[in-house]
Structure 1
Amino acid sequence: MGIAGASPFAYIANLESNNVSVIDTATDTVTATVNVGNEPSGTAVSPDGTRVYVTNCMSNSVSVIDAAKNKVIDTIYVGSYPLGVAFTPDGTKAYVANTASNTISVIDTATNNVTATVKVGNLPYKIAVSPDGKKVYAVNSGIPPDYQGNVSVIDTSTNNVTATVNVEKDPHGIAVSPDGTKVYVVNSNSYPYYKGTVSVIDTATNNVTDTVNVGSLPHGIAVSPNGTRAYVAIDIPGRYSGKSNIDATSHTGAVDVIDTTKNEVIDRVSVGNYPYEVAVTPDGNKVYVMNYGSNTTSVIDTATNNVNITVPVGRSPTAVAIGPVIKSSSTIGLNGTSFLTPIKQTENQTNDTGMTANGGTAGKQKRESVPTQASIPFLSSIWVLVALLGAVAFVRKMK
């Protein structure tokens, strides 16, 4: 049976379920669930749509999923507590942020080996790659006492950090505009301020040229394919005072919609509890929002900025990546399984996800040790790392 075009799939990493939910964006239904490593926290899809990379923060590894079969076909071991992951546009390299190691692992997707390790700032969290593939931007969350955040700019030809751009405190999310001229960094500005902002960096000068105020405790960000909108997941739509405990089941989060021509919030869309990450479909018609506290994915219609459907997924979804639209041919096997053969990629997403093939084994890369731990609570990706650094006082303040 021939297929003129295959709708992209959304891949959701469920931290506490240790699996990935696969959503068909044409029907907004979960079509598969793939078991991966311990506490998956980042996802990316290869530019040709054939592979999905999933970082497992408590396994110090990356699971490689065959997108046609929805099956893990390999595991690559990287640094400690890997979170963010991204591909170069040509799919030849993948970059992984090792938060507890303060490094970026560079994976050669042809050999599926880690070919370089780049030292960056304190607690690298997420990664974005420029559209031309020449630069990688790693957002570093910072450490006590000041939690000063910054962005490490890496030259992909040399794997050297060529610039460091200071932003605000405790940044989490990062995205590059489709034309490569701007980088958007989400600053949580947590304890004791809780004043969420987005720093706008001019990539030509590596200077922050504007700051956009958003809701409290923001996390992920994604930019529309045409570059006119940015979508920011915020845990608390108002301004959190910091005077009471944060309950992940009692606060309804939202997505702030930024007009990137004016650098101002023009709309706010209510979603589930504690939204963590966002992604935009290649056609720009939908935004997928991971609701950590609700175990759901909200699907926003970008034409109306309304949630059209809410899809139940696994426990504590923390990351999402959406594949490209591809033209395919399909052969139906004897067991009814459809094996898709990609022919042509027509568009790829330009937010802080995106990824390719792999083939490492446990013997290819030595695993770095990390303390064994049970499922971590909301925001624990930072809390655990701070604990690793001995910042017990900060954890008590946050609680």
Structure 2
Amino acid sequence: MFVYEYGPHDNRPSNNVASVDVTLTNMSNLTVTCIVRFYAFTDTPGAQTPTIYGSQIITLSPFGNGASTYLIKNMPTATAFFGVKISANNNEAELLRRVITFNNAVNQPVGSLTIPLISSMPKYAYIVNSGDDTLLVLDQVTKQQVGGLIQLPLNSMPVDVALPYFSIYAFTANSNSLNDSLILTDTRQLGLLPIGKESIAIDTDEPYAIRVFALNNNSPNSYVTVFDITTNTQRPGSPITVGDNAVALQFVPATERLYVANKDDGTISVIDTITNTVITTIPLLPGVPNASAPVHLAASSNGKYVYVAAQGLPGEIQVINGYTNTLLTPIPLLGIPSSAGLIPYRIALSPDDAVLYVASSNSSDLVSLNVNSPAKPALYRNVTMTGGPPEALAVTPDGSEVYIVNNWSSGSTVSILDRSTNSLLPVPVPTGFQPKSISFSNFIW
């Protein structure tokens, strides 16, 4: 993360700046997401907190590929002091051009300059540990633990963690508690969300984390609680009843739908999160009982494809058309070296939606599938984990690495796969006791 800032600019009457333009150009070959904030002070004596009076989220295409430049025009500056701050997720700071232009009262430019880089921000991985009720924070660059373990409520048995894109909160699902946890990530302050007993999975809407979705499993009575953190209340329609023994959920921002995997009845519940109602239930096999046993989900960024790991359907990944909510042809695992008969357990999709990583409950192999060409899914050689099947996995927001949570009798660690070489870093990183899930601080401050 990189932060650029101009100001505070002394804009008392003699300086004659009525508005500013900000031009951003992405010079890199990667997509860049920025948040631009305009802030203001008055000339009142004493300490002040800046007022944010304008904010935009901007996605810039790679250079020369359409929308690689964006112009914010005529942003007013009607206070004594003003400034602009840009936070960007580009890993190549010098490749984002950012120019501020000053305009007078008749919108004529009276000067311009480059908004300087003031800091780079580290990226973190958050790993929830069920055995000791803690949350571990890792620096993604140094691969070192940051501070001490964050202590969650004792005996809460956290099993999942979520961090939305533009938020400073982390959320954990506490499977042995009446409450889930909310952690303010910059101060590590702990709060509790009253969102139901025995929460085993958690997700948030994107990009701001206004709503939190918690999956409460009290089989056969599974339900989803939708909690509004701005009002500290449940949303109308919540809780939402889903299928038997629901074990996983996936929110899709592009379609405002929430997908829930119901393991014991072999179905996927599809929830419209605008109305908080189940709009359809998709069986993965015909007939009752349904032994497909879906246990994990992943979705493409545009919502077109939802991938399902189903333990009762070994040797393949189920695919749902997220626009029509109908089943497509499964992606076979058969024919990939040493993967015949794999029972899919956990899946993770790369940020460009091109590669699906699959961990299995009956193998130590990590398989990568080319989901852009599902008829020929083999992409890279399988990577074999030492000790046993992974517990969880996730691809970093920049797509460079895969973090693989290992919860074996020989030790609790995170293995890190370098995607550029398709090889594991030499030494796994120790975690707390019994790590269960991982998420990344891909938010922008």
Normalization by structure 1: what TM-score?
0.71
Write the distance in 2 (CA, Å) between the matches of 1:47 and 1:204. 23
Specify the structure having the higher radius of gyration (Cα): 2
Write the distance in 1 (CA, Å) between the matches of 2:431 and 2:321. 37
Q: CA offsets per residue over residues 291-345 of structure 1, 9 Å max, x none?
A: 121311111111121111411101111111112153xxxxxxxxxxxxxxx2xxx
SS where residue 379 of structure 2 aligns? strand
Write the distance in 2 (CA, Å) between the matches of 1:175 and 1:217. 16
The counterpart of 1:231, out of the listed 357, 381, 392, is: 357
Following superposition, the deviation at residue 262 of structure 1 comes to 2.0
- Residue 262 (1) aligns with residue 373 (2): yes
SS where residue 292 of structure 1 aligns? strand
Write the distance in 2 (CA, Å) between the matches of 1:278 and 1:68. 24
- State the match for 2:150 in structure 1: 34
Q: For residues 1-399 of structure 1, what are the structure 2 equivalents within 5 Å?
A: 4-32=119-147, 33-37=149-153, 38-72=156-190, 74-90=191-207, 91-100=209-218, 101-115=221-235, 116-132=238-254, 134-142=256-264, 148-167=265-284, 169-189=292-312, 195-214=314-333, 216-237=342-363, 253-263=364-374, 264-267=377-380, 268-272=382-386, 273-293=388-408, 294-308=411-425, 309-324=427-442, 326=444, 342=445
Following superposition, the deviation at residue 235 of structure 1 comes to 3.2
Residues 69 and 166 (structure 1), Cα distance of their counterparts in 2 relative to 1, 3 Å cut:
same
Residues 286 and 52 (structure 1), Cα distance of their counterparts in 2 relative to 1, 3 Å cut:
same
SS where residue 236 of structure 1 aligns? coil
CA contact 1:151–1:164 (8 Å) conserved in 2: yes
Residues 318 and 114 (structure 1), Cα distance of their counterparts in 2 relative to 1, 3 Å cut:
same
SS where residue 145 of structure 2 aligns? strand
Write the distance in 1 (CA, Å) between the matches of 2:300 and 2:398. 15
The Cα RMSD (Å) is: 2.0
Amino acid of the structure 2 residue aligned with 1:176: A
SS where residue 330 of structure 2 aligns? strand
Which structure exhibits the higher relative contact order, with contacts defined as CA atoms closer than 8 Å and separated by 6 or more residues? 1
CA contact 2:254–2:301 (8 Å) conserved in 1: no
- State the match for 1:347 in structure 2: none
Amino acid of the structure 2 residue aligned with 1:211: P
Following superposition, the deviation at residue 41 of structure 1 comes to 0.4
Write the distance in 2 (CA, Å) between the matches of 1:113 and 1:274. 39
CA contact 1:19–1:34 (8 Å) conserved in 2: yes
Amino acid of the structure 2 residue aligned with 1:262: S
Following superposition, the deviation at residue 217 of structure 1 comes to 4.1
Write the distance in 2 (CA, Å) between the matches of 1:132 and 1:205. 14
Write the distance in 1 (CA, Å) between the matches of 2:284 and 2:193. 32
Write the distance in 2 (CA, Å) between the matches of 1:172 and 1:129. 15
Write the distance in 1 (CA, Å) between the matches of 2:346 and 2:273. 24
Residues 323 and 39 (structure 1), Cα distance of their counterparts in 2 relative to 1, 3 Å cut:
same
Following superposition, the deviation at residue 49 of structure 1 comes to 3.7
Following superposition, the deviation at residue 133 of structure 1 comes to 5.3
Following superposition, the deviation at residue 130 of structure 1 comes to 1.1
- State the match for 2:28 in structure 1: none
- % identity of equivalent residues: 25
Write the distance in 2 (CA, Å) between the matches of 1:133 and 1:179. 8
CA contact 1:300–1:307 (8 Å) conserved in 2: yes
CA contact 1:133–1:156 (8 Å) conserved in 2: no
Write the distance in 2 (CA, Å) between the matches of 1:258 and 1:103. 32
Following superposition, the deviation at residue 3 of structure 1 comes to 5.2
Q: CA offsets per residue over residues 213-257 of structure 1, 9 Å max, x none?
A: 4453432211111110011222333xxxxxxxxxxxxxxx23211
Following superposition, the deviation at residue 196 of structure 1 comes to 5.0
Write the distance in 1 (CA, Å) between the matches of 2:328 and 2:273. 24
Q: CA offsets per residue over residues 98-123 of structure 1, 9 Å max, x none?
A: 12241000010212323321011111
Following superposition, the deviation at residue 159 of structure 1 comes to 0.3
Following superposition, the deviation at residue 201 of structure 1 comes to 0.6
CA contact 1:79–1:103 (8 Å) conserved in 2: no
Amino acid of the structure 2 residue aligned with 1:36: L
Write the distance in 2 (CA, Å) between the matches of 1:78 and 1:160. 17
Write the distance in 1 (CA, Å) between the matches of 2:234 and 2:177. 16
Write the distance in 2 (CA, Å) between the matches of 1:61 and 1:107. 12
Amino acid of the structure 1 residue aligned with 2:132: S
Write the distance in 2 (CA, Å) between the matches of 1:36 and 1:15. 10
SS where residue 138 of structure 2 aligns? strand
Q: Structure 2: give runs of 5+ residues left out of the alignment.
A: 4-116, 286-291, 334-338
Normalization by structure 2: what TM-score?
0.64
Amino acid of the structure 2 residue aligned with 1:197: E
CA contact 2:217–2:246 (8 Å) conserved in 1: yes
Write the distance in 2 (CA, Å) between the matches of 1:285 and 1:59. 35
